[in-house]
Amino acid sequence: MSDPLAPTSPTPLAAASANAGAATTLHRMTPLEKRASFSLAAVFALRMLGLFLVLPVFMLEARQMPGGDDPALVGLAMGAYGLTQALMQIPLGLASDRFGRKRVILLGLAVFALGSVVAAWAPNVETLLLGRAVQGAGAISAAVTALLADLTRDEVRTKGMALIGASIGLMFALSLVVAPPLAGAMGLAGIFGLTALLALGGMAVVLLWTPAEPTNSATAPRGRLRDVLWHPALWRLNLGVFALHAVQLAMWMAVPALLTQTGLLAADHWQVYLPAVLASFVLLGGLFALERRGHLRSVLRGAVALLLLVQLGFLLVASSGPALWPLAVLLFVFFVSFNILEASQPSLVSRLAPPESRGAALGVYNALQSLGFFAGGAVGGWLVKWGGTQVLFLACGLLVLAWLVLGWSQPVPAAPKGQQAAQSPA
């Protein structure tokens, strides 16, 4: 006869319920994590809005300036931002490890504001190129994402990165709506002036809203650049972000012209962009559920495969004659893929890198991101000039195919113990 006072083992159903409750708590952000995520997403949003406002109108407005009759020079001016970003991300990422994340973020935003003022004053495309280069020298992406990683747990970090990715996507959609009327009202110089004000707003957010850095950040051991430069788990992610942003910017050397060829006025392009961006966010929530179930590697492969299909689709549309609905569908699928990769890849970098070298690892990652941005503008403009739209999308497709092959075996971190328990109730 059993002792009624003896402790009893929980039933499988009760154990499953307890594990599920633990998993729910594990994946819920604390107030500090929410504050960090939303404030740093706001910093990114203010900075990226200024960058994106020029994207839909840059090619058209720059052509009206002295030197604007050379598409390759205009493309170089658009992509110069990415080149100096690439040069400065690693030094500023290392500096954020040594001197503090917030100091580097504030310095970078100040430099970005200065470059915006130079671009607003520019009397010709050559000076505009200089202003874009100074803008890019304010490279804060590594410091921002490293600070977010410092202030969030592994279990919720992808959500925090997704908030940053969503803020970037929303600012991109907003810029597509407001950039044409702003360009008509204040010109490219006025947009760059507004960009400087947005950078100052980002500095205010860092000072007044963003949580303080962890108290042990100043005394924690510091890693070396070589510890992350050829890290076996990180180089595929660095390749991936280069390809993603090279393709993103190169596409915008051709997509506006394709939409115009369908009969849609440039001022109305936002009617295609905005629904595509907003609809893509609906599917982003599925990323978190699949990550919790251990399918992150499959999600990454699927997102890159979608990006490849988009480039092939644009190639077919450009070959057969642009039509509005196929272009709208392709843009929607592109933003689905882009949002998934923007949320998951930097989160993986922060989780796979040695903690003492997190800023350096994200510096390398963001340097490759910026280099991709530069290559997309400079090489994309050159391809359009010498080979046409079809050659551009073929080159983008080949780059994404190389990414898919080389990144197929991308390492991913194991699920946290609490998460594993929630998945194994038996």
pLDDT in the model for residue 424:
38
pLDDT in the model for residue 13:
42
The encoded tokens of residue 84 equal: 């100096």
Residue 57 CA to residue 410 CA, distance in Å, equals 37
Does pLDDT of 137 surpass 50?
Answer: yes
Which architecture, in CATH terms, is 30-414? Up-down Bundle (1.20)
Q: What is the pLDDT of residues 39-53, one digit of tens each?
A: 999 998 999 888 888
Q: What is the pLDDT of residues 282-312, one digit of tens each?
A: 776 666 666 666 667 888 888 899 999 999 9
Task: Give residue 227's pLDDT band: very low, low, confident or very high (50, 70, 90).
Answer: low
pLDDT in the model for residue 190:
92
pTM: 0.71
Instruction: Considering only the C-alpha atoms of the chain, give the largest distance between any 2 of them, rounded to a whole number of Å.
Output: 97
Ranges of each domain in the chain: 30-414
pLDDT in the model for residue 294:
62
The encoded tokens of residue 108 equal: 């970078």
Of the candidates 78, 110, 267, the one whose C-alpha atom is nearest the C-alpha of residue 180 is 267
pLDDT in the model for residue 350:
77
pLDDT in the model for residue 9:
47
What percent of the chain has a predicted confidence (pLDDT) above 90?
A: 24
What's the average model confidence in pLDDT over 90-115?
Answer: 90
Average pLDDT over the chain, rounded to an integer = 80
* Interhelix angle 235-251/296-320, nearest 10 degrees: 30
Does pLDDT of 22 surpass 50?
Answer: no
pLDDT in the model for residue 114:
96
Q: What is the pLDDT of residues 344-353, one digit of tens each?
A: 888 788 778 7
Q: What is the pLDDT of residues 347-402, one digit of tens each?
A: 788 778 777 777 778 878 888 887 887 788 778 878 887 888 889 999 999 999 99
Q: What is the pLDDT of residues 157-191, one digit of tens each?
A: 777 877 887 787 778 778 877 887 888 888 889 99
Does pLDDT of 341 surpass 50?
Answer: yes
